[in-house]
Structure formats: C-alpha cells, structure tokens
Chains A and B, each alone.
Chain A
Amino acid sequence: MNEMKLISKRFGKINPLSIDEYIKFDGYKNLKKALSMEKIEIIDEVQKSYLRGRGGAGFPTSIKMMGLAKESNKEKFIICNADEGEPGNFKDRYLMENDPHQIIEGMIIVAFATGGTKGIIYVRGEYQKSISLLKWSIDEARKFGYLGKNILGSKFSFDIEVRSGAGSYVCGEEFALIESLEGKPGRTRVKPPFPTQSGINNKPTLINNVETFSTIPTIIEIGGANFSKIGTPSSTGTKLISLSGNVKHKGVFEIPFGVSIRDVIYELGGGIENDRKIKLVQLGGACGPIIPEYMLDMIIDFDRFEEFESKTGAGAIIVIDERFDIFTILLKVVRFFQHESCGKCTPCREGHIQLGNLIEKFIERKAMMQDIVSLESLARVIHQASLCGLGQTSPTAIISSLRYFRDDYIDRIEHPKRG
C-alpha cells in the first residue's frame, strides 16, 4: 500500500519560504480558476466533493459555506483553526511548516465563494515556527496580489491575520476559539446560534480546520465529482494521519479513506519497534477510543468510527506496545482533560478529577467491582452533560477501555494488593 498525495504533494519538494516555488508547483492557479467561476458554482463543487471537516467532527464543509454565504452582514469572518492541541496530532503543523500557501489559497477561495471579508489563522502558541512561517507567507501573498484589495484585479478584497493562542487545548473548540480571539478566557457558548450566524464580535463566522482549507484547492482543480470518487461513500478524499508511539516509522502519511488501521501501522509505519506485540492503539488522539490488536482491520472512515459514540478525530494513531500498562495510559489521558477543562460545566470540571481518582485505584490494585460501575456511569455523565466537544469526547478512552479491556479491570480487582 502506498500513500496518495493530494494535499501533501509539495511536502519536501518546495521551499516553504518561497512563494515562487509554490506558484511553479501549481500554486495559486486554482485561485485564478475559482475567481473566474460563479460563487455558487464553487460551493456546488465542494458539495459534490462531499468534503467533511478534517478537524475531528466531520461536519460537511459545504453546509458551513452555504450558511455563511446566505448571511447578509457586511463583515464576515473566515477563521482557520490551527489550534492543534490534541495529543498525538501533528498533521496541521506539517501543513503549516511544509506548505503554508496552500492553506492561504484555500482560505481565499472559501472567502470569495462565501463573501468573507476578513481572515484569521488562530495558531496555538506552542507552534512558533508555524506562526512565523505563516506571517512571512501572508506578506509574500500580499506582495504578489493574492491578498489585499482587488485580488488579481477582481472586485474581491480579502486579507488574513495570524493570531496566537496562549496554551489552552479547549480553544480548538470553535466557540472557545472565538472567545479567545475576542481577548477572553476560552469558554464555549451555548449553540445555537452557530458561528456562521453569530461568531466573532457577533458577526457571521466560518471556522474550518487547517487540513480542510488545504483540501479546497485540490477540489477546485479536479472537481467535486472526481474528488468524491476517492475514499469511501461516507468519507471522501484523503486524510492526513499522524502516526506515533511504538512504530518504526513515525510521521504524517496521506491515505485515501477506507484504508485499514493495520495497513497504516504495518505498511506505512513499518510495524512495531523490536517486533513487540501491540497492547493497545488509541485513535484520533486523547479524545479517541482505545482498541485492542484484534480490531486493527477496521477501516478509517467517519461512519465506521461512530460505533464508539465518538468522532473520527483528526486522524491520529497512537500505537502502544505490550510493555505499557493500560491504566497508566488512561490516567495520563484523564489528567490531560482535567488540566484542559475550561471549568464551565460541572460534570467536566469535577468529573475528570474523580475519573482520575478511580483509575488510580486500579493502578494501586485497591479497586472493587463497584468502581467499574462508578467509572462507567461517571464517564457517561461527562459525555452527555457537557456543553462542548471536550467533555463530550474526553470519556471515550475510558468507555472504550471498559468495553475492550474489561479483563484488565477484572484482573486488578481479583488480584488486590495485599497488606
């Protein structure tokens, strides 16, 4: 099995600092093509492509675009969510560091199609290299007339600014991100209204992930219908996978949807270091399910992942071999969310502390059967009673581990620590 490089085709082939090299490698030609199309035609192509958001939730991109296009406000914001903070994910960093102009081109095309007037790229504060590369690239694009007033001689004007996060995972959630851009703590808002109706400064706002914007030029180039033939019926196109953990070759790989997790780990990742056995694989990142080795033949697909009552996540695969204890891993996951919870919803703020305490009992071999019941019910309460994606997805690791690694839990109860 090989990679299918559509949006990572320029990785390592061009100098990311050079706009000339980007232009020579098909850069900004899709913007020119888009500017010659009717706005509704562009949205139609995205609809035909059946592109779904690459940030984790998988929401159809064309619906967001349509939503923004029909708003009549004079000011409309296009925001690129580059607050990649999910442990195990680094594909957005690769996109920003290897092909920053592709993101910018995608944003300009979306802005043109939807009437967007101002663009913002919100990059997590930890990604200083990405921030300086993007700022440099935006200046270059402005010099070449791709950004600013009357882009390429058209009536369309649009500009982009880069803003930095300040160390907060939850700001990757769309309303938390908007609050942060307004200079406030990143705590989400109640939906509806959705950002396309009332986002930053209560103005219509479209927020997409870095990878989603990066895919737009390809859709304009090959057409929505052709794009939709790649992948599976429910998940079209390609996906960047961040592969990490105990594999031989870690890194970012681009694959068409429908490839099995086993193929990614063994064919692209070269298998496990020292040919050890796999203990568990976490999918999507800290917010994703934990699965055992025998489930690795499942394919990467939005619908397939719904059985975990969770989202696909942004495409991380974290491989953990037999040397590691599942409860130590789970404790790290839970403590991560405990730290990153914004504190607005009680189940999320207090629940993660208690989940951690319960997992510690299993680590110390002091747990009882009742603790399994408590873990399960607490995880479900956090999942159901939290306002934003953090609390809704954070218990997935616990819930899936209770399903697929129940024997590990029982073993700890049946073999308590003596004395």
Chain B
Amino acid sequence: MILKEILQKYPKKDDQLIEILLDYQSAKSNHYISKEEIIEIADYLGIPESKVCSVLSFYTFFSVKPRGKHIIQVCKDVPCYVSSNIDILKIIETELGILVNETTPNQQFTLEFTSCLGCCDVGPVMRINDKIYTHLTADKIKAILSEYRVNM
C-alpha cells in the first residue's frame, strides 16, 4: 500500500503520528520508514521532520533500516529465562545463519530482542510478526521456522 493512501485515513493532527507510523510500517513488506517517507509524513501533519525522527528513535517498534518480511522477536527477560532449559536465541541464530539485529540475505527474516511479552506463564516465548509462540523447545522452533520458509 502506498503512503498516500494510508495518510488519507488519518486526520491532519500531530497526535496521529504514532498510529500512522505503526500502520504504514506494518503494511510495508520491509517494515521500515525511509528518509523520503519521513519528509512526506512530516509535511502531511505539518510538523518538523525532527519530530517524526524523535518518535522513530524512541519507540522500539520502529526501524529506519529495511528489515525482513518476518520479524522474529525473542523475549530476553527473567521469567522466560528461568522457564527455559535451552538458549532460544542461539537456536534461531544457528537455524537462520544470522545474529540478533541482523536480516537474512534473502530479506525473509529479521531477528530481534524484545522486552517481556506478558506471556510469562507460557514461556519461553517468541513473537513472529503479530503472532506469539509459547512453550518453545528446539524442535518446536525449527518446525515454526520451516513453516514460514514454506510460505515464502
């Protein structure tokens, strides 16, 4: 979807900035906001570009660099850590051949950390796009990833 169509859904009020960024970033297959788009959004809302940039750098959901089609987020906080016998991050890193904060060469996956996902009773957990996967084991992680690979 192009940015103009998304912008038209929102009133020209500066309190709409975060909603617009969330909406547009998730609609884009590489999930990031480019320099040109920052200018376009700032123009639409009548605010300085610096204001858009300050929001983009503050919230962890936003990226100003291209990311993969699927964003994998691994919880790094205490409840998941103590619920797990395995190193979730290591398994995904090995499986995808990338390190955390990197994107696979085919632009399919980006691996990130996330703060607590509020699923501490079913940990360890990870999130792929908007979906949360619980009770992770090494086999389960491999199965989930291969599902995403098939649907590439």
Contacts and interface: CB of A to CB of B under 8 A. Distances in A.
B121 A250 contact: yes
Contact of B18 (A126, A166, A318, A320): A166
B59 A168 contact: yes
Contacts of B54: 184-185
B139 interface: no
Given A244-B83, A245-B82, A286-B78, A183 B120 contact: no
Given A320-B78, A339-B115, A166 B120 contact: no
A332 B76 CA distance: 8
Interface string B1-44: 00000000000011111110110000000000000000000000
A329 interface: yes
Contacts of B55: 183-185
Interface string A178-206: 00111111100000000000000100000
B18 A183 contact: yes
Interface residues of B, number: 36
Contacts of B19: 163-164
A418 to B, nearest CB: 28
B134 to A, nearest CB: 11
B111 to A, nearest CB: 16
Contacts of A245: 78-79, 82-83, 120
Interface in A234-252: 242-246, 250-252
A282 B118 CA distance: 16
B60 A87 contact: no
Contact of A87 (B15, B115, B130): B115
Nearest to B123: A244
Contact of B115 (A85, A201, A320, A321): A85
Contacts of A333: 78
Interface core residue of A90, A92, A165, A340 (most chain B CB under 10 Å): A90
A165 B114 CA distance: 14
Interface core residue of A165, A167, A286 (most chain B CB under 10 Å): A167
Given A167-B60, A245-B79, A318-B79, A182 B15 contact: yes
Contacts of A244: 79, 83, 120-121, 123
Interface in B61-75: 61-62
A77 to B, nearest CB: 12
A333 B115 CA distance: 11
Which of under 10, 10 to 19, 20 to 34, or 35 or more describes the interface residues of A? 35 or more
B78 A246 contact: no
A286 to B, nearest CB: 7
Given A87-B78, A244-B83, A320-B82, A125 B22 contact: yes
Contacts of B77: 87-88, 286, 332, 336
Contacts of B133: none
A87 B22 contact: no
A1 B130 CA distance: 38
A357 B109 CA distance: 32
Contacts of B81: 329, 332
A320 B28 CA distance: 41
A228 interface: no
A406 B55 CA distance: 42
Contact of B16 (A90, A183, A185): A183
Contacts of B115: 85, 87, 167, 169, 336, 339-340
B121 A90 contact: yes
Contacts of B116: 85-89, 286, 336
Nearest to B121: A250
A128 interface: yes
Interface string A133-165: 000000000000000000000000000000111
A90 B83 CA distance: 15
**Closest 6 A-B residue pairs measured CB to CB?**
A185-B58, A244-B120, A166-B59, A167-B60, A87-B116, A250-B121
Given A88-B120, A92-B118, A166-B21, 4 more contacts: A87-B116, A252-B121, A329-B81, A332-B76
